[in-house]
Structure 1
């Protein structure tokens, strides 16, 4: 049961991420349209090519940087699987781990296919113009990591 919950959470996170990227980047053609206002000023689709990690940190134009980030993502996925296979993680931890893994693999596939991660979500508010873009995988990675940290069920000593 535990392995299935982890697998299906990762599978759906991966699939939702890849479908969202395909629809916005290829079908809606945001790369050529520049931007698409969805819920202005809060949500705009804006094309981005991320060769680094979240928010463009550690941008690397080299092929070595791309492969290092792919390897790092795969190692993190493996560590999460091993960690969750030990002990008795809660249902929510398994779902969180699956979201993190599915999101990370979604970005790995982008790096393998395109050489970078496709980003398209931009959120701004209250007169603050956010220059950064991200994708659905990033949401899953952040939410999954938060679930693993906050829902581990261990009492502080």
Structure 2
């Protein structure tokens, strides 16, 4: 696969990711939810950028540390993509790296720029290019909106050890297109491992 095609994948994923995020930011208030199907909702939340809303402690540099680490990681992934194309590695590997790169870059855009591009979304719909932004450069929040509550309000069988009778739901994660691209890219590497890393 050529580098041009790999970059095309990155650009397409980035466009879809950013268009969807900007639309949600400028049409929804935070925590606003819309049912699309019984198993799929648009549920707008924002987080500091780590999985499940986790934060880096302030003594480790907080949000800025996470953003800078991500920028370094994207540089490394970008080099990996270039090197894999140069060495004519398999399409499985190149596509998966391109998806991971696009996803990581998509969330970096939120982290770096959204704090100075939008005002806040609590109790109001955010304004793009607001004169009163909610944050500063490198301190933006990542926009998530895709929610697939496939199983809700279910209970473990009473005979099940330790958690028997307790309520559970399946797939509580709320994510975005960038997260999905990273997950698909990693999934390709896992499922098609032998083809992805086949010797040339």
The match for 1:36 is: 34
1:59 pairs with 2:55: yes
Aligned partners of 2:73, 2:188: CA distance in 1, in Å? 15
Task: Return the structure number with greater helix share.
Answer: 1
8 Å Cα contact 2:99-2:182 kept in structure 1: yes
Find the partner of 2:149 among 93, 103, 124: 124
* Range 13-22 or range 79-88, more displaced: 79-88
TM-score of the two chains, using structure 2 as the length reference: 0.66
Task: Provide the alpha-carbon RMSD of the alignment.
Answer: 2.4
Does the CA-based 8 Å contact 2:30-2:46 persist in structure 1? no
Q: Deviations over 1:18-43 (max 9, x none)?
A: 011122332xx222671111112x11
Structure 2: where are the runs of 5+ without partners? 116-139, 153-168
Provide the C-alpha distance between the structure 2 equivalents of 1:76 and 1:33, rounded to a whole number of angstroms.
Answer: 30
CA distance in 2, matches of 1:93, 1:24: 32
**Cα deviation code 1:111-151 (max 9, x no counterpart):** 11231100111111222265431111100011112224434
Counterparts in 2 of 1:2-41, with a 5 A limit?
A: 2-26=2-26, 29-31=27-29, 34-40=32-38
Larger Rg: 2
Distance in structure 2 (CA, Å) of the matches to 1:11 and 1:105: 10
